[in-house]
Amino acid sequence: MPIPRSEYLSSVWKDGIFDGRVVFVTGGAGTICSAQTRALVALGANACIVGRNQQKTEAAAIDIATAREGAKVIGIGGCDVRNPGNLESAAERCVKELGAIDFVIAGAAGNFVAPISGLSTNAFKSVIDIDVLGTYNTVKTTMPYLVKSAARNPNPSQNGLTGGRILYVSATFHYTGMPLQAHVSAAKASVDSIMASVALEYGPLGVTSNVISPGGIAGTEGMERLSSSAVDEKTSGKIVPLGRWGTIRDIADATVYVFSDAGNYVNGEILVVDGGTWRTGGPVGLDSSHRYPDYLLKGEFSKHVKSGRKEKPNL
């Protein structure tokens, strides 16, 4: 059953602004990336989403396709972004079945709450491999297609249609530093750096490269991993200057902007969509009783966050 459009897309966007475009999305079955993809599909795009879990990815593709009658959405499971061969096969299938790759969202990521004292080298490496190596592999795999799309769609657009754009889903923790997130901070700082290099090296070929850094987004797996379930949303949202957690629509709208004709001159930019939270240094993984630096000195953090441990993926 289709999700009401108002839940993932604001009313300002015109139907058809992405007609004939194709978006390739890593981590596309995740809460945020699926909303980004759904918004693009609703506005005319077709999509290919990839992920490690085959059943989840294929189910998400079927669900996203309900956003627009006649939409084509491919779900490719068993695709590990750490494996270049997996990505190359997925991209080739995307182009074969959908005709092109005009937009890319690099959204595959890993996260959990852990102090450095309890963070093993392997756990740190796992996040680096998924976020950093996975992002680089995505760039290397899809860039030839994006360059071709940019050539077909000169910037500025003459007809309102765009192409040759890549967007990375990052985070804000490394802007100020964040306890319990050393692994993610290091990974996302690298993602931001890759974005800037791509903007400089491929901008002359017409490709735009930008980052979206979401804050806490209600109802997402990310929030389950970072925000204590023992603290109600209304109370925890008070740390946000706007007084609320974000919605998936906030991120989807920002994505539409960057890929649309309105984002023609946006390149090498980090677009923070967090209600101003990063400026407050809002904590993650804590209960209301925790006070800095006491919880660190005692080696405590919330027991009410979702574990970072995952079941073996269904490949």
Hey, which residues are catalytic here? 170, 188
Distance CA 297, CA 299 (A): 5
Query: From residue 308, how far is each of 182, 222, 260, 315 by CA, in Å?
Result: 14, 10, 35, 19
Under DSSP, the state recorded for 13 is: S
Handedness of CA 42, 45, 50, 56 (dihedral sign): positive
Three-state DSSP state, 47: strand
Distance CA 116, CA 313 (A): 26
Distance CA 136, CA 220 (A): 25
Task: Give the N- to C-terminal CA distance of the chain in Å, as an integer.
Answer: 27
- Residue 115 corresponds to which tokens in the numbers above? 């102090």
User: In a 10 Å sphere around its CB, with 0-12 CB exposed, 13-18 middle and 19+ buried, how is residue 35 labelled?
Assistant: buried
Sheet strands side by side (includes 270-273): 73-76, 46-50, 22-26, 103-106, 165-169, 208-214, 270-273
Question: Which helix (H) or strand (E) is 50 found in, with range?
Answer: strand 46-50
Distance CA 138, CA 167 (A): 11
What is the pairing mode between strands 103-106 and 165-169?
A: parallel
- Residue 145 corresponds to which tokens in the numbers above? 């297609």
- Residue 5 corresponds to which tokens in the numbers above? 């459009």
- Alpha carbon 246 to its chain's center: 14
